[in-house]
Chains A and B, each alone.
Chain A
Amino acid sequence: MIKIENLEKVYKTEEIETTALNGINLHVKEGEFVSIMGPSGCGKSTLLNVMGLLDKPESGSYKFIETELLTLNDRERSNFRKRNMGFVFQNFNLIDELTVFENIELPLIYNKVPAGERKKLVNEIIGRMNIVNRSGHFPQQLSGGQQQRVAVARALVTKPKLVLADEPTGNLDSTHGNEVMELLCELNETGTTIVMVTHSSHDASFSNRIINLKDGHVISEKINKGRTEELI
């Protein structure tokens, strides 16, 4: 589904140039759950941002089901993103002024889904995420785990082809962290492709494939056998 070739990204400041991605090649199949690991500053978040069309690389190619994405302009990128991708962040990034229901509804509004259908879709996912009794609450009134469930729900409500998760358990204790990981696995089992950046090998163990980055290069790739067999 995703074909990334020779991706290069350089951050420039007045004094120094930092190469974040240095000729990255990466293929992700539909329905795969890929973890990206590596030390701080290895470029994994940059890679995730490029994949999520939040950042532009200097060169290379990024094909998503045969569509080249790097040639799109801002408006096309924004449109492509909202139709095909969902995001889950380490710090949840919910909007404080909106309730749980409204937070989840927001991407549907941007996708111009009619009100009646929006309600149906949001209620459906709220049920699935087990946060029905929280739908009228504001983010500050929820625990970290609950907030991340809302964030996942918001990422999934548009039924994206690809979910990008940036350290989704980083701000959670192990119990809540495991809950979120199980949620992602369930999702993956229903066919959603997931790319996750993580520091935790425990979290990575939930995925099919683990890619290790260092200094902007892919240095190793490991197939997670238990999960891959399931996939086959």
Chain B
Amino acid sequence: MFKLNLKIALRNLWKNKTSSFINVIGLAIGLAACLMLLLYVTYELNFDKESKNSENVYTVMTNIPGDNGKVSNTFEGSTTALGPLLKEEIPEIKHLARMNYLKKALIAVGENSFKKLGKFAEPEILKLFDYQYIVGNAATAMQNPKSVILTESTAKVLFGSTQVLNRVVKYQDKEDLTVSAVIKDLPDNTSATLKFDYLMPWAFYEMVDASAKELNWGNFSFVTMALLDPNTDVTRVNEKIDKVVKTHLEQANQPYFLYPLSKLHLYGKFENGVNVGGDIEQIYLFVALAFGILMIACINFMNMATAKSEKRAKEVGIKKTIGANRVSLIMQFLTESMVLTFIAVIVAIALLEIFLPTFNNLLNIKLSIGYFSASSWMWILGIVFLTGLIAGSYPAFYLSAFNPIQTLKKRIKSGGILAINLRQVLVVGQFCFAIVLIISTMVIYRQIQFIKNRPMGIDVNALVEIPQDGELKTKFEVVKSQLLKSGAVKAVSQSSVGLSHRGQNFMDVKWEGMAKPLNTQLFNQVATTYDFIKTNGIKLKEGRDFSKNFASDSAGVLISATALKVFGYTNPIGKTVTIFDDKYTIVGVFDDYVWDSPYQSNNPVIVFFDPNRTGTITMRLNEANSIAQNIATITEITKQVNPAYPTDIKFLNSIYLEKYNSEKTLGILSNLFGGLAIFVSCLGLFGLVAYSAEQRTKEFGVRKVLGASVTNLMQLLSLSFVKMIVVAIIIAVPLSYYAMGKWLSKFEFHTEINWWIMLLAAFGTLAMALITVSFQAYKSAKANPVDALKYE
């Protein structure tokens, strides 16, 4: 029976080439889009899940107290003192490792030197994560303090090989470290705190950085991760941690808690210390998008199948008369849709292979189909089965229910009233989805433009920065004067952090006339020396920049306009503020500039004068020269002073562009898949019109003989379809207005939804549908009526 069903299915596909083509292409696009998004979603869902223990690995989160006993901020970070205490007092913790955040630092073999992401961690990190060792092993890899574990690609870059056990690398142009192991590269979907290029023991960290050695409760620049016993109730462990910390440190008012590491990537948003989701919302959106497009393709299949019901009805009738029951007929129609889906998935995989590299480029990730993994085939087959079932079920139940007498006597009208209505409902649904996507794309695009056009308070064009490593710290003034003399730059300044940065927040500020006993507003800090305002193109509102003419500037600060608002000073210049128990005098007030997220107001900034806290050199290029020329000059000068380090010049405008990445991804995906949705919907519409035209050939012939013009006939054929699109527009416009309004309200700074966006989307869709319909309508209206009448 299956063989026979298969035979009928294949012969039917071959016989109705147009509709088969539309169905296969539509389903293939739907499946390709679906598989692509699912690949992406799987990639995101598997963040930090590579290790077999990943379920039981937790990271320490810290809550920063705010007003009224609330939590003002929650972040992944902790102090050096916490780790040892937890290890001692909490028996549920099997292993615990303190580590730092990743930092780019110089690693070299002879002349071969690179800045790569280095990490320091306590040896138990090797028990938390099961790294794959190419040479060396977990037992010995971190025994020697002056040792280093390299990833495969780092080893290859440095040595050209992975067989480099006991070879020596130079760290930061100072310390020799012995290679104790080489491990396989970490997967791309490893979170940023863990994705190192080389790993060094904590014992070595204590040698190079004093802050790592002391047990401190105030510096949150560290990460603590722990492996818990399986089946541990983490809520109870967190209660214990709270108690333990409070007994050891009375003034501790930052409650710490353990949070599953593998959840942090997608569930990383906290409000008042409680998780409120995070990027998982985008994932839900993408899954909906994937299945939405697949659904559109399935609807095409259903519509074509039920539209052709008249042709199939006879077959159903005959089979029923000679003994087929409903189940066997349902099986036959399902076989047909399964065969079609199967052909479509082959095309889809081909499409995927063609477009995956572009998609990867757009989103800056590396996705690929795991042809050799059983699970990916299970997924693919599962989706094929599900698609075949969804697409085939309605036609199967609909067609198999035909009454044999009516079908054999040809008394059946195409579809019947109910079927036509359902078909219309489905077409309206398809176009609703497509229109909503188009409007969303336009709103997202406008929002990104709006934020990009928002004044940033700095002039990022022609601004570049380099990390202040090695001799660039000690010989900064020399470098500065050489750079200025060369004519490549117009201004140079050094600062503790780059213009765009994360963190560096603090709260220990007191000011004159402060109403509250304790400040709860987070401030951001930058340390610099001279020419900070000039170099960055920040607008000075009052006072002046730091100057060599005033020796007292070492105790001076510059503050941002919002900082001034917090302090409430009317004449701020010369007024003092107390920060970390030291008094500072305000010498200047500058306009706010964007240093964190451009979508919301950033914390107020205080700029200190401190030649010791350095980290970044920022330069304003001389625009009279070509950029390449300027860069070459800068490279030459820095290389001369600081030969051990590669010159890593970054353009501020591209750094600022990265701030739009998350919304850009959303924009790209909704653009891409919105276009596909429209295309597949139009494909379906084309099929329906073609079929309807074919059915009405005789009617058209008669009408033409009686005097109907081509326009009359085109109107006749197009009108019913255009009506459906209009209904779809009426439903989709308010729907997307509401949804996008809600999306925009997430942003503190956002654009408005303009009426012309709605109009453009509506008319665009209508025009597209009209072109689709009229193409076919024109063809049939132009046909010779004599042929049509002979046709029977």
Binding site for B on A (CB under 8 A): 49, 52, 54-55, 75, 78-79, 81-82, 86-87, 89, 91, 93-98, 102, 106-107, 109-111, 154
Q: How distant is B425 from chain A, measured CB to nearest CB, in Å?
A: 24
* Also in contact, A93 and B323, with CB within 8 A (given A49-B405, A109-B1): no
Of residues 323 through 351 on chain B, the ones whose CB sits less than 8 Å from some CB of chain A are 323-325, 328
- Known pairs A97-B315, A102-B7, A106-B319 / 16 extra A-B pairs, C-beta < 8 Å: A54-B404, A54-B405, A55-B405, A78-B320, A87-B321, A89-B408, A93-B314, A93-B318, A93-B408, A95-B315, A97-B7, A97-B12, A98-B8, A110-B319, A110-B322, A111-B323
- Please state if B325 and A75 are interface contacts (CB–CB under 8 Å): yes
* Also in contact, A97 and B8, with CB within 8 A (given A49-B405, A55-B405, A109-B1): yes
Number of interface residues of B (CB under 8 A): 22
Q: How distant is A220 from chain B, measured CB to nearest CB, in Å?
A: 26
A87 partner residues in chain B, CB cutoff 8 A:
321-322
Q: Which residue of the partner chain B has the closest CB to A92?
A: B318
A selection of 21 A-B contacts at a CB cut-off of 8 Å is: A75-B325, A78-B324, A81-B321, A82-B323, A93-B314, A93-B317, A93-B318, A93-B321, A93-B408, A95-B8, A95-B319, A97-B7, A97-B11, A97-B15, A98-B7, A106-B4, A107-B322, A110-B319, A110-B322, A110-B323, A110-B324
Q: How distant is A93 from chain B, measured CB to nearest CB, in Å?
A: 5
Of residues 1 through 49 on chain B, the ones whose CB sits less than 8 Å from some CB of chain A are 1, 4, 7-8, 11-12, 15
* Also in contact, A78 and B325, with CB within 8 A (given A93-B317, A97-B12, A102-B4): yes
- Please state if A78 and B318 are interface contacts (CB–CB under 8 Å): no
- Please state if A154 and B322 are interface contacts (CB–CB under 8 Å): yes
Q: Which residue of the partner chain B has the closest CB to A98?
A: B8
Q: How distant is A50 from chain B, measured CB to nearest CB, in Å?
A: 10
CA distance A52 to B315 in the complex (A): 18
Q: How distant is B16 from chain A, measured CB to nearest CB, in Å?
A: 10
Q: Which residue of the partner chain B has the closest CB to A93?
A: B318
B323 partner residues in chain A, CB cutoff 8 A:
78-79, 81-82, 107, 110-111
B315 partner residues in chain A, CB cutoff 8 A:
95-97
CA distance A94 to B317 in the complex (A): 10
- Please state if B328 and A110 are interface contacts (CB–CB under 8 Å): yes
CA distance A54 to B237 in the complex (A): 72
CA distance A25 to B15 in the complex (A): 47
Q: How distant is B12 from chain A, measured CB to nearest CB, in Å?
A: 6
- Please state if A95 and B325 are interface contacts (CB–CB under 8 Å): no
Q: How distant is B791 from chain A, measured CB to nearest CB, in Å?
A: 15
- Please state if A54 and B1 are interface contacts (CB–CB under 8 Å): no
Partner of B322, one of A79, A82, A91, A97: A82
Binding site for A on B (CB under 8 A): 1, 4, 7-8, 11-12, 15, 314-315, 317-325, 328, 404-405, 408
CA distance A102 to B324 in the complex (A): 15
CA distance A144 to B254 in the complex (A): 92
CA distance A106 to B1 in the complex (A): 9
Q: How distant is B11 from chain A, measured CB to nearest CB, in Å?
A: 4
Q: Which residue of the partner chain A has the closest CB to B325?
A: A78
Q: How distant is B317 from chain A, measured CB to nearest CB, in Å?
A: 7
Q: How distant is B584 from chain A, measured CB to nearest CB, in Å?
A: 89
Q: Which residue of the partner chain A has the closest CB to B404?
A: A54
Q: How distant is B340 from chain A, measured CB to nearest CB, in Å?
A: 15
- Please state if B318 and A94 are interface contacts (CB–CB under 8 Å): yes
Q: Which residue of the partner chain B has the closest CB to A94?
A: B318
- Please state if B405 and A109 are interface contacts (CB–CB under 8 Å): no
CA distance A154 to B318 in the complex (A): 11
B4 partner residues in chain A, CB cutoff 8 A:
98, 102, 106, 109
- Please state if A95 and B318 are interface contacts (CB–CB under 8 Å): yes
Q: Which residue of the partner chain B has the closest CB to A48?
A: B405
Q: Which residue of the partner chain B has the closest CB to A155?
A: B322
Q: Which residue of the partner chain B has the closest CB to A87?
A: B321
Q: How distant is B287 from chain A, measured CB to nearest CB, in Å?
A: 38
Q: How distant is A88 from chain B, measured CB to nearest CB, in Å?
A: 10
B8 partner residues in chain A, CB cutoff 8 A:
95, 97-98
CA distance A93 to B7 in the complex (A): 19
B404 partner residues in chain A, CB cutoff 8 A:
54
Q: How distant is A26 from chain B, measured CB to nearest CB, in Å?
A: 19
Q: How distant is A156 from chain B, measured CB to nearest CB, in Å?
A: 11
CA distance A54 to B406 in the complex (A): 10
Q: Which residue of the partner chain A has the closest CB to B11?
A: A97
Q: Which residue of the partner chain A has the closest CB to B311?
A: A96
A110 partner residues in chain B, CB cutoff 8 A:
319, 322-324, 328
Q: Which residue of the partner chain B has the closest CB to A105?
A: B4
Q: Which residue of the partner chain A has the closest CB to B407?
A: A93
CA distance A107 to B4 in the complex (A): 12
CA distance A55 to B404 in the complex (A): 9
* Also in contact, A54 and B12, with CB within 8 A (given A95-B315, A110-B328): no
Choose among A55, A78, A91 the residue with the greatest number of B CB atoms under 10 Å from its CB: A78
B11 partner residues in chain A, CB cutoff 8 A:
97
CA distance A89 to B319 in the complex (A): 13
CA distance A79 to B326 in the complex (A): 12
B324 partner residues in chain A, CB cutoff 8 A:
78, 110
CA distance A55 to B315 in the complex (A): 18
CA distance A89 to B322 in the complex (A): 12
A52 partner residues in chain B, CB cutoff 8 A:
321
Q: How distant is A125 from chain B, measured CB to nearest CB, in Å?
A: 14
CA distance A49 to B321 in the complex (A): 10
Choose among A93, A95, A98 the residue with the greatest number of B CB atoms under 10 Å from its CB: A93
CA distance A86 to B322 in the complex (A): 7
- Please state if A54 and B15 are interface contacts (CB–CB under 8 Å): no
CA distance A98 to B8 in the complex (A): 7
Q: Which residue of the partner chain A has the closest CB to B323?
A: A82
CA distance A154 to B694 in the complex (A): 32
Q: How distant is B322 from chain A, measured CB to nearest CB, in Å?
A: 4
Q: Which residue of the partner chain B has the closest CB to A95?
A: B315
Q: How distant is A196 from chain B, measured CB to nearest CB, in Å?
A: 16
A81 partner residues in chain B, CB cutoff 8 A:
321, 323
A109 partner residues in chain B, CB cutoff 8 A:
1, 4
Q: Which residue of the partner chain B has the closest CB to A86?
A: B322
A154 partner residues in chain B, CB cutoff 8 A:
322
B1 partner residues in chain A, CB cutoff 8 A:
109
- Please state if A54 and B318 are interface contacts (CB–CB under 8 Å): no
Q: How distant is B224 from chain A, measured CB to nearest CB, in Å?
A: 68
CA distance A79 to B321 in the complex (A): 11
Q: Which residue of the partner chain B has the closest CB to A83?
A: B323
A75 partner residues in chain B, CB cutoff 8 A:
325
A111 partner residues in chain B, CB cutoff 8 A:
323
A-B residue pairs, 7 tightest by C-beta = A82-B323, A110-B323, A107-B322, A97-B11, A93-B318, A97-B8, A78-B325
CA distance A94 to B318 in the complex (A): 7
B408 partner residues in chain A, CB cutoff 8 A:
89, 91, 93
Q: How distant is B14 from chain A, measured CB to nearest CB, in Å?
A: 9
A49 partner residues in chain B, CB cutoff 8 A:
405
Choose among B318, B322, B323, B324 the residue with the greatest number of A CB atoms under 10 Å from its CB: B322
- Please state if A106 and B322 are interface contacts (CB–CB under 8 Å): yes
CA distance A96 to B8 in the complex (A): 9
CA distance A154 to B11 in the complex (A): 21
Q: Which residue of the partner chain B has the closest CB to A49?
A: B405
